[in-house]
Amino acid sequence: MRNMVDSQEEAEMFSTRLDGIEKSGIRKIFGMADKNSIHLGIGEPDFNPPEHIAVALKEAVDAGYNKYSPILGLPELREAIVERIKRYKKDITVDNVMVTMGASSGLALSSMALYEPGDEVMVPDPGFVFYIPHAKIYKAKPVCYPMKKEHGYVPQPDDINELVTDKTKAIIMNSPSNPCGSALGKEEVRAITEICKDHNIVIISDEVYDEVIYEGEHHSFLGDYENVIHLNSFSKTFAMTGWRIGYMVSSPDIIEHISRLQYYAIACPSTPLEHAVLAGLKGPQGFIKDMVAAFKRRRNVITALLNSIDGFDCLLPKGAFYVFPSFDFKISDTDLALHLLKAGVVSTYGSAFGKRGEGHIRFSYANSTENIEKGMDIVKDAVSSLERN
């Protein structure tokens, strides 16, 4: 009886915004992992940040840069971000830039600023685990657009156009994709942008893997359409996922509105971290090239090994550091992830990323080649006894 009362009181205590919001599939599996497991689940580089960035952080602290920074971030860091982003959009200034606590903070603030009850937000399926919960938390309705294997998991403009209604407020794009590793081409970016222009839809473009492209170049949604919110992060670029610092690029009007929320949410970004990433942007960039080259070698290894295992079919990713193979074992993707976990390999079940992720599993190759090879040996042995469809 007491438990029933506690449950009722708890239900009354918390906002309905929490209804249906659960721990992500990534974290569920990660939290169950043994310390000796081979981790191919979490998407974080196994490199350390470049030494000159770590030195700059220590120097910033020692120099007394421990006070509040401006709400929008340090002007000199915003200037450095402008110089970086000019590869995608020439006519931007510091008024287009706000430093955030990672791209995740930028996504939360954008959702808070834009969504009203009844709004529809288009999200990729499969797509990163944050997108649907962010829509639900702010009482918007997530509408999933398909990422189809037959199209290399690249979203098709026609599929998106068919889902547009008069309630569509925003669309979340993510290229290169987590979990699929696919990347949009120039024509897809242009066509999707035109659809959004025609219907006054805000594009929230998650481009945190823009440096991790293996063939060709990254195509950004930053262009002549004003209603674009570009989200980016230093987490992947400088291998500092735990530092939690990123940035947002948009029109001055959008930046001004969202900055009001940033003040009341976090007051300001971390001052010493801003000085550190400024050193990263102004210092040597060879680290990024070397890291991406290492990821490319690992991508080739893990894709070949997965395709050599009966039951898996894995496309070669174009960016990010994930493979998303489909499988034809007589087992759900959730049970397969648990089966592999018991064998000693951490992965993420595909349905954690949406309904279209069923029958898939995600492996991160942000780990050493040695661990990838060991992990795939374990996977091969673990699935050898499973029935096939």
The token pair that represents 351 in the structure block:
């349905």
Residue 43: the pLDDT is: 87
- Is the whole model's pTM more than 0.75, yes or no? yes
CB 304 within 8 A of CB 325: no
CB 125 within 8 A of CB 145: yes
Q: What is the DSSP string of 260-277?
A: HHHHHHHSS--HHHHHHH
Residue 4 has pLDDT above 60, yes or no: no
Name the residue type at position 158: D
Span 249-265, mean pLDDT? Answer: 97
The token pair that represents 238 in the structure block:
């400088």
Residue 389: the pLDDT is: 87
Residue 235 has pLDDT above 80, yes or no: yes
Confidence of residue 232 (pLDDT cuts 50, 70, 90): very high
| Separation of alpha carbons 291 and 212, rounded Å | 9
Residue 75: the pLDDT is: 98
List the one residue out of 191, 147, 141 whose CA is nearest residue 170. 141
Crossing angle of helices 286-307 and 369-383, rounded to 10°: 20
Span 3-20, mean pLDDT? Answer: 71
The token pair that represents 53 in the structure block:
């960035």
| Separation of alpha carbons 321 and 44, rounded Å | 9
CB 42 within 8 A of CB 27: no
Which residues have a Cβ under 8 Å from the Cβ of 317 and sit 6 or more positions away? 176, 180, 181, 182, 214, 299, 303, 323, 324
| Separation of alpha carbons 165 and 283, rounded Å | 46
Angle value at C-alpha 204, between 203 and 209, nearest 5 degrees? 125
140 DSSP 8-state letter: P
Residue 81 has pLDDT above 60, yes or no: yes
Confidence of residue 6 (pLDDT cuts 50, 70, 90): low
Span 254-271, mean pLDDT? Answer: 97
Span 331-336, mean pLDDT? Answer: 96
All domains of the chain in start order, with CATH: 2-48+287-383 (3.90.1150.10), 65-282 (3.40.640.10)
Residue 1 has pLDDT above 60, yes or no: no
Residue 7: the pLDDT is: 59
The token pair that represents 308 in the structure block:
């050599």
Confidence of residue 9 (pLDDT cuts 50, 70, 90): low
| Separation of alpha carbons 158 and 100, rounded Å | 33
| Separation of alpha carbons 201 and 186, rounded Å | 19
List the one residue out of 324, 379, 314 whose CA is nearest residue 346. 379
| Separation of alpha carbons 278 and 98, rounded Å | 14
pLDDT digits (tens, 9 = 90+) for 37-64: 999 998 889 999 999 999 999 999 999 9
| Separation of alpha carbons 305 and 309, rounded Å | 7
| Separation of alpha carbons 241 and 244, rounded Å | 6
Residue 267 backbone class (left: φ over 0; alpha: ψ -120 to 50; beta: rest) = left
| Separation of alpha carbons 21 and 137, rounded Å | 8
Residue 20: the pLDDT is: 80
| Separation of alpha carbons 112 and 107, rounded Å | 9
303 DSSP 8-state letter: H
Which residues have a Cβ under 8 Å from the Cβ of 231 and sit 6 or more positions away? 100, 103, 106, 107, 110, 204, 205, 206, 207, 208, 246, 248
Mean pLDDT of the residues in the chain: 95
Residue 5 has pLDDT above 60, yes or no: no
CB 344 within 8 A of CB 36: yes
Strand-pairing partners, residue 346, are 39
388 DSSP 8-state letter: B
pLDDT > 70: percent of the chain: 96
The token pair that represents 200 in the structure block:
């006054």
For residues 288-312, one letter each, b for 16 or more C-beta atoms within 10 angstroms of the residue's C-beta and e for the rest, the string is beebbebbbebbeebbebbeebebb
Range with the poorest average pLDDT among 17-31, 250-264, 270-284, 345-359:
17-31
CB 179 within 8 A of CB 322: yes
Number of Cα atoms under 13 Å in the Cβ half of residue 93: 3
